[in-house]
Amino acid sequence: MASIEDLLGKGKKEVIPGDLTPQEKFEEKMKKIRLKEKEAEIKAKAASLGFEFISLEGFPISPESLVLIPREQSRQEKVISFLYSGEEVRIGAVNPASEQITEIKFQVAERVHANVKVYMISEHSFEMAEKLYDALPEVKEVVKGVEITAAELQHFQEQVKSLSQLNELVQKVSTSDFVILTIAAAIESDSSDIHIEAQEKSVVVRLRIDGVLQKVATVKKDMWSRIVNRFKLISALKLNITTAPQDGRFTIFLEDNSKIDVRVSTLPTAYGESIVMRLLKPSTISLSFEDLGLRGRAYEDLKRETERPNGMIITTGPTGSGKTTTLYAILKKLNDEAIKIITLEDPIEYKLEGISQSGMDKSKDYNFVKGLRSILRQDPDIIMVGELRDLETAEVAIQAALTGHLVVSTIHTNSAAGAVPRFLSMGVKPFLLAPALNAIIGQRLVRRICSECKIEDPLDEGTSKKIHDLLSILTPESGYKVDLNNLKFWKGRGCTTCHGTGYKGRIGIYEIFCMTPEIEKLILSGQVSEYDMQDIAMKQGMITMAQDGLLKALDGLTSIEEVFRAAE
């Protein structure tokens, strides 16, 4: 490990003190005095800014530490990484308070998963330390993403006409090509997740397409270590950790200058690490409020409630039911220069322009409760809380809704009517909950019928009776009238366009539960059951998720099988 003096001394003629003239000795001494005074000034300035000061003169800086910040970036921002222990990183900066240094600190912490601390250094320290880059061997640029060109995607389309053919192709490619091919297949099939799982005798690749996992390939077990290490490398995960979960990210850069962020999770299992990758595509949250799939009275009710200046709008449903997309669509509808919107998310998956987004950080004890209390001091008009998980978070959110803020959030229940009993079981007081709630959204995602292979779907007697029973209880208040004697439904036969599934894309089915004096009175009584809430809401015109799904099936958007799979 070379010190700064070792490096600076290489190739130079040794200076013998006796060789200096009195004038040169005096100038050398004055130079040292000025440097010492300058260092003292910087130390005082660091203290006033709240940073620790360090002099890097004589400090042994390892190559492993130095390479954490590229030389070009180091020169531009006058910043140097001078210590890296595996768990701790120490960075020296001439201007440590700048936004650029804060961003570099974040990038280094994300890449090496270590605690990063910034110190203030002098220009002299930086100039000496920066020369150490000269002693580094040439290092290839760190891979920060995977570039998939249009030619590679076209090659995939030509080689693999259906996902069933993917299995043959992955047997013949290298590990690097396996990564590209798997990602290209996921993009081409519009998958939301890639699952690569080690089993006893093989490795299985599955893609989640339109919410349903499909097995697309099986490769030999002896490829597993190379596959997992390749994904770890591009995700900035530690190769030597195989017995503990890890989380990372990488970016897919596409030919059209667009990009897809990929969130990577590894988990140790009995036969090796399982890898799951979530593809965070901007198109996923590009839906407008008008395009969510809400219709008729449900659309009008929710539109009215979102335009109120205060109260709570809650979405419910299991993981993967489209709750985040709905919340983002509401926020985009309300986003305006005259309105301050702040979100609390765990984690932030998509960036929304014009909205302040704050991500949770468990390592710093930054959770929903602390974040919610902090953002209330930021003078927001609208607040989004990723999830109401406990009583403390729920109470702070309700207080915010009662004091002039519009709060949108999620809670895990099976239906909109189940949200109120869930709040009460958490310990929320009925007299606070009743006036705070505006609307509750129950939702699921169902697959759209592929338009290329759509055919009529004849139903058996039992299914027909079930449909008749559900649609016959639609009240006049719902705004829908269905001819029960002329019901016609469709399904997908399966073709190359939909990879033989009969479905292409997804659409939401909803139930919108709005507060009324009768429902508020029931909540205040404290004697609330999900069935009572559902019964009152339906009498007042609420369309259930199952009924909404059947109405969309009558329009040929989805199949009866999908509706009953998602909403039963």
Q: What is the mean pLDDT of residues 247-251?
A: 86
> 194 and 307, same structural domain?
no
> 344 and 234, same structural domain?
no
pLDDT band for 33, please (50, 70, 90 cuts).
confident
Q: What is the mean pLDDT of residues 138-147?
A: 51
5 CB-near residues (< 8 Å, 6+ apart): 57, 58
Residue 203: give its domain's CATH number: 3.30.450.90
Look at residue 565 and tell me if it is in a domain: no
Q: What is the mean pLDDT of residues 26-40?
A: 77
Domain boundary among 280, 303, 332: 280
Domain boundary among 81, 113, 135: 135
pLDDT value at residue 26: 63
Look at residue 35 and tell me if it is in a domain: yes
> 291 and 156, same structural domain?
no
Look at residue 49 and tell me if it is in a domain: yes
Look at residue 454 and tell me if it is in a domain: no
> 232 and 354, same structural domain?
no
pLDDT value at residue 385: 93
> 322 and 223, same structural domain?
no
Cα–Cα dist 96/430, whole Å = 50
Which tokens in the block code for residue 471? Answer: 């649609």
pLDDT band for 5, please (50, 70, 90 cuts).
very low
Residue 18: give its domain's CATH number: 3.30.300.160
pTM > 0.75: no
Q: Among residues 452, 151, 445, 512, which one has the least CA distance to residue 284? A: 445
pLDDT value at residue 511: 94
- Write the Ramachandran bin of 78: left for phi over 0, alpha for psi from -120 to 50, otherwise beta: left
Which tokens in the block code for residue 231? Answer: 């994904």
| Residues β-bridged to residue 254 | 148
Mean pLDDT of the chain: 86
> 272 and 293, same structural domain?
no
H/E stretch holding 192 reads strand 191-198
Q: What is the mean pLDDT of residues 230-239?
A: 85
Residue 339: give its domain's CATH number: 3.40.50.300
Amino acid at 250: F
Q: What is the mean pLDDT of residues 250-277?
A: 86
> Does residue 157 have a pLDDT over 70?
no
Cα–Cα dist 438/314, whole Å = 8
Look at residue 112 and tell me if it is in a domain: yes
> 252 and 382, same structural domain?
no
Cα–Cα dist 42/121, whole Å = 7
Proportion of the chain above pLDDT 70, given as a percent = 91
What are the Cα distances from residue 67, in Å, to 54, 84, 115, 541?
Answer: 20, 10, 17, 64
pLDDT band for 169, please (50, 70, 90 cuts).
confident
Cα–Cα dist 16/473, whole Å = 102
pLDDT value at residue 147: 59
pLDDT value at residue 436: 95
Segment among 196-200, 285-289, 504-508 with least mean pLDDT: 285-289
Cα–Cα dist 145/239, whole Å = 17
Per DSSP, helices labelled H in 247-348 are: 296-306, 323-334
b/e string for 188-199 if b means 16 or more Cβ within 10 A? bbbbbbbbbbbe
Q: What is the mean pLDDT of residues 330-343?
A: 93
> Does residue 371 have a pLDDT over 50?
yes
pLDDT value at residue 493: 94
Proportion of the chain above pLDDT 90, given as a percent = 41
Q: What are phi and psi of 180, to 5 degrees?
A: -60, -45
> 43 and 157, same structural domain?
no
- 274 lies in which domain range? 145-280
Q: What is the mean pLDDT of residues 164-191?
A: 83
Q: State the burial class of residue 296 (Cβ atoms within 10 Å of its Cβ: 0-12, 13-18, 19+).
A: middle
Look at residue 465 and tell me if it is in a domain: no
pLDDT value at residue 19: 65
Q: What is the DSSP letter of 110?
A: H
> 395 and 527, same structural domain?
yes
Strand arrangement of the beta sheet that strand 79-84 belongs to: 52-53, 115-120, 88-93, 79-84
Cα dihedral sign for 353, 514, 525, 547?
negative
> 379 and 236, same structural domain?
no
> 82 by DSSP, 3-state: which?
strand
> Does residue 9 have a pLDDT over 60?
no
Domain boundary among 280, 309, 324: 280
pLDDT value at residue 175: 79
pLDDT value at residue 477: 75
> 296 and 275, same structural domain?
no
Q: Which residue has the higher pLDDT, 548 or 14?
A: 548
Look at residue 438 and tell me if it is in a domain: yes
H/E stretch holding 542 reads none
Q: Among residues 301, 6, 281, which one has the least CA distance to residue 131? A: 6
**What are the tens digits of pLDDT across the range 275-310?**
999 998 876 777 788 888 898 889 999 999 999 999
Cα dihedral sign for 220, 222, 227, 232?
positive
Q: Among residues 249, 12, 36, which one has the least CA distance to residue 145? A: 249
pLDDT value at residue 453: 94
79 CB-near residues (< 8 Å, 6+ apart): 69, 73, 91, 92, 93, 94, 101, 104, 126
pLDDT band for 32, please (50, 70, 90 cuts).
confident
Look at residue 558 and tell me if it is in a domain: no
Q: What is the DSSP letter of 137?
A: P
Instruction: Quickly tell me which residue has 């409760």 as its tokens.
Output: 369
> Does residue 230 have a pLDDT over 50?
yes
Q: What is the mean pLDDT of residues 35-53?
A: 88
Domain count of the fold of the chain: 3
> 380 and 238, same structural domain?
no
